[in-house]
Structure 1
Amino acid sequence: MIDWLRQRSVLELVFLTLAVLVVLMVVSGLLTRSLYRRGRRAPFVIRRINKLTQTFVDLVKRPITIAVLDEVADVIQTGHYTKNISAALVENHDELIELVGEKVRNDPSSRVVARLPGYDAVVGQVTETTLRVLIEMLGDPRMDELVSDLLRNNLQQIKLAVRERQNERVPSHEPPDPVPESLRHVSPMARRPGGPGTPGGRVSRR
């Protein structure tokens, strides 16, 4: 056994040690859960292993998180997300035109204007032009670069927050503002029971 260990490289020994620790963590967790179910206290050795497990997790979780974010940032820079959105808009062009026209016709604020001659033609032309410009913008490499830079900068900010433990000093979030009456019929949050602006929902007080 000793000769076998001597033949292993440093990296292999590190991985072997980590594997043994993981096995001990799993076994310790299962034993602790089983003993608690039976109303018995875990032995000192098990409690010690659990404490070491928590210490080990606290020690490695931050470097692992930063390493994962680095990988995500590298992957994000290889993507073409705006082009994918542009392709999806082209694929669903007719459905989007129909959807916009339907929503505009059913909007309460446009009922009076909708009676004007040529209203449907104007709405259709404006929708078509807007959608075409949007597709061309999303297909432009400059827009793709803008989104990639935005995602990369956000990931850099997240990594900095994790490294400096800023996430541990974040105050609790305030409840969302109530949904205005004019938008309550189209808001999914207002339709959901217990949502903001509904009976039983939370309303922010500022």
Structure 2
Amino acid sequence: MELQVVGAKEPLSVSDTVFDREFSGSLVHQVVVAYRNAGRSGTKAQKTRSEVRGTTKKFKKQKGGGARHGDYRAPIFVGGGVTFAAKPRSFAQKVNKKMFRGAVQAILSELNRQGRLKVVTGFDITEAKTQHLLGKLKDLDLGKKVLLVTEDVNQNIYLAARNLPYIAVCDVSALDPVSLVDADHVVVTVESIKKIEEWLA
């Protein structure tokens, strides 16, 4: 298939596998959830009665005082342990490479079908100025949330976009499904398209 390049006369030929794949909502959902869960810390921790600091001395006699207690670290006392204490856990879900690549292919294909994927010849900025970046984006008719994908890390673009909360910048190696799903429009350079094809084909 072919992608229209903004400002170019001839379209760009690309792989049907990467940019014309049938959309699979269940696959995309599974990969996006797994990717987000991998970023969760899972560091919540509480102490059981065996881990709480305090004496284990029996504080009253066995008979004649009501309930029989061994020490003040029991869960019913203030400062005691927690009955079913939470422990650090991992939220990671297994997603193999084939599933991950398939989800990214499906997202890119759907973005292209909806007209939310913009391909440009290049996106070079000589100065790290926010106004320069906004001037380049103004003619592309984009939505509020924009993801700029470059072939390599471009310091000028990154510095120009860091004050804009609705514009994200990444290179091909850092491209992820969550960023693609979250963006209203994705602006990709021609060189980035070639790298994406090498990665996903």
TM-score grouping bracket, smaller chain normalisation: under 0.3
- Normalization by structure 2: what TM-score? 0.19
Indicate the structure with greater helix content. 1
- Normalization by structure 1: what TM-score? 0.19
Higher relative contact order (CA 8 A, sep 6+): 2
Indicate the structure with greater strand content. 2
